[in-house]
Amino acid sequence: MELLNLMPSAKEAIVGQVQHPKSYQRIQEIEAPKPKPQELPDAPKQAPTFVKQLGPPIQCVEGDNIYLEAQVAPTDDNTLTYEWLVNGRPLMKAHRFVLSQDFGYIALNILYCYPEDSGTYTLIVRNAAGEAQSTVDIDCRIDGVNYRDSLHPGSLQRIKELETPQQRAEPAPEKPKEQPQILKGLPPKFDVVHESQTLHLEAQVAPVDDNTLKYEWLFNGQPLKASSRYRILNDFGFVTLDIDYVIAEDAGKYTLVISNAAGKAETSCEFDVERLKSILSDTAHPESLRRITEMEQLQPAKPS
């Protein structure tokens, strides 16, 4: 069997001939550079005019729906602006006032009218060439079905009296302060105060209605130090000091001083503290101690 070596070759490396001459010609026409179109100068602005005015005066009652409409020209001027005025002032923004504008048609819809909406409504349209305006008067009256007279004149009068600002009463002049007094003083001295017992000191003072009255406890002439063992009470002229678990260091002079702007008064108490014995030598049962002593005495020897 013989093998044949075939080497195919193209007629041309790139096919450059146009297969559709007409299409090629059309493509060249489309892709050819085109001259820029000449910009036309802006047409002169036309001053706005009202084709249809707002209309004659309107009379209505409270709660009515009022619809104001007008038509203006030119309709193709996108620079045209419009403004609503009420009695010469810009219309306030509220959900009751619905504004609309569409190709020269301008409208104001007042959903429900109040008496305070009465007045002259003016529509002003403007552009660079000038302005125009149209006005209409609206008179809104109170509906007769609304009863504004009180059905209870007596109650209305009472309400007015309650809502009338009351004159503040002048504060009464303060009474002169009464000088403090000790109605019941502390006991001058305690005979015996044992260590670990509770001590109660009390006194009664006047005046009881003076909120500026100050109370101070002194110990040996110095302010009483704060401690968990000290309980102080002051209740309408009744003053007490309780000392829980008295110790030897508590011995001394205790003074209660009361004072206000008119003066001061004081009362004192003094006591000593008898210490607890560290060893108890006294018997709690004397008869038993005597019997034990007899039993422990040496007995004479018995004869054999």
pLDDT at 280 over 80: no
CATH (residue range 49-141): 2.60.40.10
Alpha helix (H) residue ranges in the chain: 21-31, 153-163, 286-296
Determine the pLDDT at residue 300: 65
Q: What would the mean pLDDT of 158-177 be, rounded to a whole number? A: 81
Determine the pLDDT at residue 85: 95
Supply the mean pLDDT for the chain: 86
Q: Same CATH fold, 181-274 and 49-141? A: yes
Ranges of each domain in the chain:
49-141, 181-274
State the Cα–Cα distance between residues 261 and 212, nearest whole angstrom: 8
Higher pLDDT, 168 or 77: 77
φ, ψ for residue 61, nearest 5 deg: -115, 165
Determine the pLDDT at residue 3: 60
pLDDT at 106 over 80: yes
Note the pLDDT tens digit of each residue in 123-141.
999 998 999 999 999 999 8
Note the pLDDT tens digit of each residue in 246-260.
998 999 999 999 999
183-220 burial string, b = 16+ CB within 10 Å, else e? eebbeeeeeebeeeeebebebbbbeeebeebeeebbee
Q: Which of 4-18, 78-92, 129-143, 215-229 has the lowest mean pLDDT?
A: 4-18
Determine the pLDDT at residue 76: 87
| 61 bridge partner residues | 141
CA torsion angle 104 108 109 114 (round to 10): -170
Please give the CATH topology (third level) of the domain spanning 181-274. Answer: Immunoglobulin-like (2.60.40)
Of all residues in the chain, the percent with pLDDT exceeding 90 is: 43
**How many Cβ atoms sit within 10 Å of the Cβ of residue 43?**
9
Q: What is the DSSP letter of 188?
A: S
Give the contacts of 136 (CB within 8 A, at least 6 positions apart): 53, 54, 55, 56, 57, 58, 68, 120, 121
State the Cα–Cα distance between residues 228 and 233, nearest whole angstrom: 14
pTM: 0.40
Which pLDDT band, with edges at 50, 70 and 90, does 299 fall under?
low
| Strands across the sheet containing 263-271 | 222-223, 214-219, 252-260, 263-271
Q: What would the mean pLDDT of 44-60 be, rounded to a whole number? A: 91
Q: Which of 135-139, 144-148, 168-172 has the lowest mean pLDDT?
A: 144-148
Determine the pLDDT at residue 255: 94
